[in-house]
Amino acid sequence: QKEVEQNSGPLSVPEGAIASLNCTYSDRGSQSFFWYRQYSGKSPELIMSIYSNGDKEDGRFTAQLNKASQYVSLLIRDSQPSDSATYLCAVNPGYSTLTFGKGTMLLVSP
């Protein structure tokens, strides 16, 4: 069974700090990786996608992918209280569907 693992949290960081969210996956053949943000009661919103090993930066967000170690991470710099949400890691194991982790809750305190 293809699995995507995330620490459920909550991960608590003070405002202005760097939040580091991690995700591991089981299928070595996975090619596409995504981070979604989900506020309570809302649907997921795409934050980042990454396909190659290394780092990908978009504003305050940096996605990191290491296929050899089968992990993908999301760094949020200068965290803001509005970043408080559940972050979902999603992996495409080669099929048309995505496999989602259960999400990590992030709490950014003022």
Partner 1 sequence: GAVVSQHPSRVICKSGTSVKIECRSLDFQATTMFWYRQFPKQSLMLMATSNEGSKATYEQGVEKDKFLINHASLTLSTLTVTSAHPEDSSFYICSARDRRGGSTDTQYFGPGTRLTVL
Contacting positions for partner 1 (CB under 8 A): 31-32, 34, 36, 41-46, 49, 51, 88, 90, 92, 96-98, 100-103
Both tokens assigned to 8: 């459920």
Nearer to partner 1, 15 or 45 (CB): 45
Q: Strand order in 19-25's β-sheet?
A: 4-5, 19-25, 71-76, 61-66, 54-58
Q: Report in angstroms how near the CB of residue 18 gets to partner 1 at its nearest.
A: 25
Nearest to 77 by CA among 22, 23, 19, 34: 19
Nearer to partner 1, 25 or 36 (CB): 36
